[in-house]
């Protein structure tokens, strides 16, 4: 069962042919940056959620279809006892496979893995955490459980009654509605898709309960251009991540060019973290965490906290890395240089500082021979003083000629002022 569900998660549904096309966001170069008119209006009247990229935990990447009430309670306990909650990871998000049938009034029930959703929400809240849930605009979710088509307002109200604070809304089988209603007409299909997301947005607003609204439709139709206009606080820019370095780095590197679409309340989402999952090494976990922080990406951990090693905890809870992700400027970073496997990315931070990450996506260590740090491109004309974040060390002045040794699949992360 779990493998079957994982397979669905990794590749999306078989009939869901467009899912993950290219897998990664197209370059946004040339894309229209002008925000939809509705954005400013909507932002003015709606309570601000996700002023910085949402942080929390989601059940899918590790537990997938096996997740239970007990896993969520254990996770809530561990978010507190490990220090993750205090580091910022406050949303506990139940992904797909919690859904049961509808009662005679059409009200969605949780299934036997989740005997009492309201009690679970109360438990999560009692720990100083918030609860997230998952559905789809289609008739069925990606794992073919009951979803919200035709029940949007009712479902949003049920979530609000339970005390839900965050909804991930995953396109999944709504694709069959789109193709049935507008066969061979992709623009018309996309319009239906945007309307479906707006419908749930309005349903959430009607409840009066603030909820983070997480759009999951794999980046189709350049969602970064219209996500805010349908109330999205974050939108997936890609197909599904998996716990291996190649997939993680292809997704992360593919975010180049999307920076201009991120702002407080509205974030590009390159998918949930795999830090601590699979066989990712320390360097690979650091690369993953660094790249997501530079991208101002939502930091939604996806590991099994009951088995978290101190090393993995150290990566997820590095305060300086989290501070880069959560910086109040709310600016996403971008690539400023690439030469083969070595890439330099920069993110503007408050106080005129910049985060500068030197990645080595290659198979052997790099000494950066003949590679300049590109400080001018990062915004430094005069002298620059650096702090090495992962080494927790002040480096003093640096110049374009300063060389770093960057391990295979590793990164050097600097905060420069
Ligand atoms: C899709 C999403 C995943 C996960 C699964 C659940 O594949 O992209 O993140 O939510 O569905 O079925």
- DSSP states of 369-414 as a string? TT----HHHHT-SS-EEEEETTTTEEEEEE-TT----B-TTEEEEE
Q: Hey, which of 58, 60, 97, 214 would you mutate to test ligand 1's pocket, going by the most ligand atoms within 8 Å of its Cβ?
A: 60
CA distance 83 to 63: 21
- 3-state SS assignment for residue 320: helix
Mean pLDDT of 69-74: 98
On whether the CB atoms of residues 331 and 110 are closer than 8 A, the answer is: no
As a whole number of angstroms, the longest Cα–Cα distance in the chain is 71
* Residue 307, number of CB atoms within 10 A of its CB: 10
pLDDT at residue number 332: 98
pLDDT of 167 reads 99
Closest CA to 357 of 314, 413, 398, 273: 413
How close is the Cα of 109 to the center of ligand 1, in Å?
Answer: 20
Which residues have any ligand 1 atom within 6 Å of their CB? 8-9, 12, 60, 95-96, 141-143, 170, 216, 240
Ligand 1 atom nearest 95 alpha carbon: 10
The pair of structure tokens assigned to 197 is 């997301």
CA nearest ligand 1 atom 4, residue: 9
| Residue with CA at minimum distance from ligand 1 atom 8 | 240
Distance 154 CA to ligand 1 centre (A): 22
Closest CA to 330 of 36, 48, 4, 97: 48
Query: What DSSP letter does each residue of 197-266 carry, written as one string?
Result: HHHHHHHHHHHT---EEEEESTTGGGHHHHGGGGT-SEEE-SS---SSHHHHHHHHHTTTT-GGG-BTTB
Find the range with the poorest average confidence among 45-49, 67-71, 330-334. 45-49
240 annotated active-site:
yes
- Ligand 1 center from residue 352 Cα (angstroms): 38
Contact by Cβ (8 Å): 316, 302:
no
φ/ψ of 66, rounded to 5, equals -90, -5
- 46 close to 231: Cβ distance less than 8 angstroms: yes
Tens of pLDDT, residue by residue over 96-140, are 999 999 999 999 999 999 999 999 999 999 999 999 999 999 999
The vertex-184 CA angle with 182 and 185, nearest 5°, equals 60
Distance (Å) from CA 101 to ligand 1 centroid: 20
Q: Give tens-digit pLDDT for 213-247.
A: 999 999 999 999 999 999 999 999 999 999 999 99
- Point out the catalytic residue in the list 170, 271, 283, 325: 170
> pTM of the predicted model, to two decimals?
0.91
Pick from 256, 241, 228: nearest CA to 50: 228
Chain length of the chain: 417
Return the best residue to mutate from 2, 12, 58, 142 for the ligand 1 pocket (most ligand atoms within 8 A of CB): 142
173 CA from centroid of ligand 1 (Å): 12
């Amino acid at each position: 069962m779990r493998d079957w569900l994982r397979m669905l998660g990794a590749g999306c549904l078989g009939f869901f042919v467009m899912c993950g096309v290219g897998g990664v966001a197209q370059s946004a170069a040339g894309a229209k940056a002008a925000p939809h008119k509705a954005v400013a209006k909507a932002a003015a009247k709606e309570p601000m959620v996700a002023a910085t990229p949402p942080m929390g935990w989601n059940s899918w990447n590790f537990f997938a279809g096996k997740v239970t009430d007990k896993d969520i309670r254990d996770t809530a306990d561990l978010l507190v006892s490990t220090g993750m909650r205090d580091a910022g990871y406050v949303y506990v998000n139940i992904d797909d496979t919690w859904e049961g049938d509808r009662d005679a009034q059409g009200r969605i029930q949780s299934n036997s893995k989740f005997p009492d959703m309201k009690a679970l929400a109360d438990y999560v809240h009692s720990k100083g955490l918030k609860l997230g849930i998952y559905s789809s605009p289609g008739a069925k979710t990606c794992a073919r459980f009951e979803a919200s088509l035709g029940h949007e307002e009712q479902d949003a109200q049920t979530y609000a009654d339970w005390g839900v604070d965050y909804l991930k809304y995953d396109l999944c089988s709504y694709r069959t509605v789109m193709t049935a209603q507008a066969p061979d007409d992709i623009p018309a299909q996309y319009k239906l898709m945007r309307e479906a997301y707006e419908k749930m947005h309005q349903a959430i607003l009607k409840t009066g309960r603030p909820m983070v609204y997480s759009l999951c439709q794999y980046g189709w139709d350049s969602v970064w251009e219209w996500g805010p206009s349908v109330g999205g606080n974050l939108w997936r820019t890609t197909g599904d991540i998996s716990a291996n370095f190649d997939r993680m780095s292809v997704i992360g590197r593919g975010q180049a060019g999307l920076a201009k679409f991120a702002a407080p309340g509205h974030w590009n989402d390159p998918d949930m973290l795999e830090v601590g999952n699979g066989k990712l090494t320390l360097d690979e976990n650091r690369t993953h965490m660094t790249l997501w922080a530079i991208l101002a990406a939502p930091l939604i951990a996806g590991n099994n906290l009951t088995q978290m090693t101190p090393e993995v905890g150290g990566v997820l809870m590095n305060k300086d890395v989290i501070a880069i992700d959560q910086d109040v400027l709310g600016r996403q970073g971008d690539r400023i240089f690439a030469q083969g496997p070595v890439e330099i990315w920069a993110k503007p931070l408050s106080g005129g500082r910049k985060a500068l990450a030197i990645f080595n996506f290659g198979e052997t260590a790099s000494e950066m021979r003949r590679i300049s740090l590109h400080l001018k491109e990062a915004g430094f004309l005069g002298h620059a003083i650096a702090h090495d974040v992962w080494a927790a060390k002040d480096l003093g002045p640096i110049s374009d000629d300063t060389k770093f040794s960057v391990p295979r699949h590793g990164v050097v992360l600097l905060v420069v002022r």
